[in-house]
Structure 1
């Protein structure tokens, strides 16, 4: 079995008694609905649709095949598949086989994949043949040169004569006598940092089954729900909040797209009767600007937005222009999720990231000395709870810094709590600009910049300065005629922003760079700003 930093037993027992952990394992996904209503559509992708019974049987055949290849307890498999039905079948098969999948993103390349194979000691690597013009078989050949533990490369598609085809892995189903326990690692997600290689995040059957159940209940997603995945389903947001796996647990339908383009997504929203989708703020802007060119009824759609700061002006447009409903989220692959409830007032939905998912989520807001700040003040978010990890995988030195002695995760996020307990994310610890001793929260400036009609998107970062220590550089994606720096500074003053918070420099840019998980790459922008300072 995989050894990992477990939740202390007194906490684990508390979570079991409270009913958060119910002894479920994720291999049970599909079983009930396959037996009750096997013809019900479970997954739709670009190739067609798959019913619950067919998908369940496919996962059983793959589970037997993976076990025959040596994948099982303590022997993970790196899975790098896009949003296709095979992702669901392979994932459930590995859950049943007890071989934790390591979910890599489709955009990862040799550096990341080689590291993931080595760090997890993976026995196999599952890939598509060609995705968005990139041949993953060539990548696999490079990875095999350094990945000592990988014995098999399995291709969903044409294996090219060198590797195994996914269909050739399948075997006649047979009972698995040494299947996983609820407290075993079910799979690994990846940390979303912007520097260095991602760290492995162990998620257990217990904690993720609770997350799937609680997020679906919170968003009233049931058997009539239709979830549209346009973000990579290897990412926590589209995988299990409730995402693909939550839709399958609830008996709903998951519609998988490999692109978030309105050209592809909007017709499916109409034809499939989509009720829920997850977007990041830049995609919301793209959809808003495209909506006027399509005849689509968005009134039954709930848009779940998170993973980055979401400007209030853009949030208002979701309900005002699209006519969709909005739920505002904050979340991390490590665990903690907060969200605005469906009956929250509009002001709460637009201006906050809501309250924690679980009554057992513990949060603290602290200063640089780990002292709790007064209510309403900004500090770093610390958290622990029934679905938050207690340690990254096999990095004890990092864990000593990333967790408090009593098990709280240091998130690196700057937040404040409103009087009613809703959380407002103000940015990252590294997003604070120290301008001559005055602290400037980049997020505050960004939210006001996008209220200018000539600004499509904005990101503010620190740049080094010999006199002030740091100054603020605003990167702006213009809308129409590009604005000038003084024009933006005047606009910000008109919004009531103090002079020391005004940007010192403006850089116009065609698009903000993004990390592999779709967040604005502030590290890249800081590098650009420093290079031209």
Structure 2
């Protein structure tokens, strides 16, 4: 029988990982057995003058952040929010968003950050399904329509005070939910995945820690929203777990980001492939001082794009395979899964492990494994095994050296006349065309075949704009594509639209492609 945590509004969150495994990870030191707020205050006491956050308004020390967190926590408690509440956070990247998330942990509640760019429909759906009892927003933000469980909407900026507030003492266990990660919405509704304090301070922190080669403090520039799944390497990991410096910008702008890299010398830059590609396209300084690596996740990166970014920065590019659902592996250590983060196995359709070299579904289990999906028994049944393993739905294999190779994302397909086409495969091959700066492929409705594949491209400024025939010839001749996989529509754009998490917004591309394509 799994342990079950229940919110004040009645949302039950079971832990689908056997308890003996969780306890073993703590004994082995792979999870610390403490909570996010206590871990944060330990860093405050150890180095109060170190920069905790650097945002558009300047630096904030750990002592200053501690003051802001205590003041925000006092405001939450005064509003009747606290232990076992689920509190939504819809804020842009700033010191206030950092203080808000830590304050939620300080009062023993569970945070559910989601990007400010999400539409009203998604926001209301998330708050309703999680039965959130409070919502934290930026000052001046238009409020959301009242929900039965939502008691109060607050702006953490208004809690700023010169009077020192006492540190709260949260009544939480390290295995309790700490934060609900929200997916980017590749399914019908964004998924909500609950992670414990130990999963952040242990497994997810172990993944970020492994990116660094020594014990010097990291300075992590996180380009994606802190409220995204990839952005969770910011507050609970960079600040609370590692006691390092978190650098953020209110919104992504390539020129401003390059200035930030030059002025504030991050050791690591975290971004999705499109962001890093656009930085490389602005002729960055070769090997910026202090920069150890560029860290890419959130979407596959074509080899040609990786080579261009690496050549532009003269800096290593670390590719991360991961998802909101609870899997992570990166090539900082040769692409081998790290058991301190998550073990990975390859399984057949019945869940039986496959030998090295055999392709099957990727399963993951380890210290970073989430508790469960929130308010969705169907997803728990579909994507979790009885032993707690996460079934990713993605396909891949482990080679003889134990390196993970991801061969396909099972949930992103275009169904054309009964045939499944992988947009990722077409994108990967098209990205090598010399005339293309960016490319993304999407399916558009077709009354006869169900869907057609549309290539959405951004041409290089110094190359003639290619037409559809040139691109399909390239795929046939250079990559031996069969006719069914060739794009049948083409749309040329000045840039690819980005969603609230910084990834290419496929929904927008589908809308554009459906009404504006050329042969």
TM bracket (short chain): 0.7 to 0.9
Confirm whether residue 70 of structure 1 aligns to residue 80 of structure 2.
Answer: yes
CA RMSD of aligned residues (A): 3.0
Deviation at 1:314, TM superposition (A): 1.0
Q: Matched residue pairs, number?
A: 503
What is the aligned counterpart of 2:124 among 114, 121, 127?
Answer: 114
TM-score normalised by L of structure 1: 0.85
Q: Are the equivalent residues in 2 in contact too, given 1:473–1:503 (CA < 8 A)?
A: no
Give the corresponding residue for 1:57: 67
Give the corresponding residue for 1:11: 21
Alpha-carbon displacement from aligned partner over 1:29-59 (angstroms, at most 9, x marks no partner): 4323322332222111111221111211221
Q: Are the equivalent residues in 2 in contact too, given 1:212–1:249 (CA < 8 A)?
A: no
Deviation larger for 166-175 or 417-426 = 166-175
For 1:54 and 1:467, how far apart are their aligned partners in 2? 62
For 2:217 and 2:167, how far apart are their aligned partners in 1? 32
Give the corresponding residue for 2:150: 150
Evaluate the alpha carbon distance shift between residue 360 and residue 29 of structure 1 in structure 2; reply closer, same or farther with a 3 A threshold.
closer
What is the aligned counterpart of 1:333 among 324, 340, 356?
Answer: 324
TM-score normalised by L of structure 2: 0.87
Evaluate the alpha carbon distance shift between residue 195 and residue 397 of structure 1 in structure 2; reply closer, same or farther with a 3 A threshold.
closer
What is the aligned counterpart of 1:279 among 263, 271, 281?
Answer: 271
Q: Are the equivalent residues in 2 in contact too, given 1:212–1:246 (CA < 8 A)?
A: no
Give the corresponding residue for 1:263: 255
Written as runs of structure 1 = structure 2, the 5 A alignment for 1:16-415 is 16-130=26-140, 136=141, 138=142, 140=143, 142-144=144-146, 147-157=147-157, 165-167=158-160, 172-173=165-166, 175-176=168-169, 179-220=171-212, 222-240=215-233, 245-291=237-283, 297=288, 300-341=291-332, 344=334, 354-359=335-340, 361-370=342-351, 372=353, 375-415=356-396
* Matched position secondary structure for 1:397: helix
For 1:117 and 1:153, how far apart are their aligned partners in 2? 12
Evaluate the alpha carbon distance shift between residue 387 and residue 244 of structure 1 in structure 2; reply closer, same or farther with a 3 A threshold.
closer
* Matched position secondary structure for 2:368: coil
Q: Are the equivalent residues in 2 in contact too, given 1:62–1:171 (CA < 8 A)?
A: no
Evaluate the alpha carbon distance shift between residue 222 and residue 258 of structure 1 in structure 2; reply closer, same or farther with a 3 A threshold.
farther
* Matched position secondary structure for 2:283: helix
Evaluate the alpha carbon distance shift between residue 167 and residue 508 of structure 1 in structure 2; reply closer, same or farther with a 3 A threshold.
same
For 1:180 and 1:473, how far apart are their aligned partners in 2? 50
Q: Are the equivalent residues in 2 in contact too, given 1:461–1:473 (CA < 8 A)?
A: yes
Deviation at 1:105, TM superposition (A): 0.9
Deviation at 1:309, TM superposition (A): 1.1
Deviation at 1:245, TM superposition (A): 3.3
For 1:98 and 1:320, how far apart are their aligned partners in 2? 46
For 1:338 and 1:17, how far apart are their aligned partners in 2? 23
Evaluate the alpha carbon distance shift between residue 169 and residue 101 of structure 1 in structure 2; reply closer, same or farther with a 3 A threshold.
farther
For 2:396 and 2:67, how far apart are their aligned partners in 1? 46
Alpha-carbon displacement from aligned partner over 1:425-457 (angstroms, at most 9, x marks no partner): 333213345667766433232112111122122
Deviation larger for 83-92 or 333-342 = 333-342
Give the corresponding residue for 2:3: none
Deviation larger for 48-57 or 504-513 = 504-513
For 1:100 and 1:444, how far apart are their aligned partners in 2? 38
Give the corresponding residue for 1:160: none
Alpha-carbon displacement from aligned partner over 1:281-301 (angstroms, at most 9, x marks no partner): 111221111125x68826734
Which stretches in structure 1 are left out of the alignment for 5+ residues? Answer: 131-135, 158-164, 345-353
Alpha-carbon displacement from aligned partner over 1:211-243 (angstroms, at most 9, x marks no partner): 343124301275432111221111232322x66
Which stretches in structure 2 are left out of the alignment for 5+ residues? Answer: 1-5
Alpha-carbon displacement from aligned partner over 1:82-124 (angstroms, at most 9, x marks no partner): 1111112121121111011111211123222222322232222
Q: Are the equivalent residues in 2 in contact too, given 1:223–1:251 (CA < 8 A)?
A: no
For 2:261 and 2:427, how far apart are their aligned partners in 1? 31
Evaluate the alpha carbon distance shift between residue 405 and residue 297 of structure 1 in structure 2; reply closer, same or farther with a 3 A threshold.
closer
Alpha-carbon displacement from aligned partner over 1:288-345 (angstroms, at most 9, x marks no partner): 11125x6882673410001101010111122222112211101122322110125x4x
Q: Are the equivalent residues in 2 in contact too, given 1:229–1:243 (CA < 8 A)?
A: no
Deviation at 1:494, TM superposition (A): 3.7
For 1:437 and 1:199, how far apart are their aligned partners in 2? 27
Give the corresponding residue for 1:351: none
Deviation larger for 316-325 or 504-513 = 504-513
For 2:133 and 2:162, how far apart are their aligned partners in 1? 14
Confirm whether residue 421 of structure 1 aligns to residue 424 of structure 2.
Answer: no
Deviation at 1:9, TM superposition (A): 1.7
Q: Are the equivalent residues in 2 in contact too, given 1:404–1:410 (CA < 8 A)?
A: yes
Deviation at 1:503, TM superposition (A): 1.2
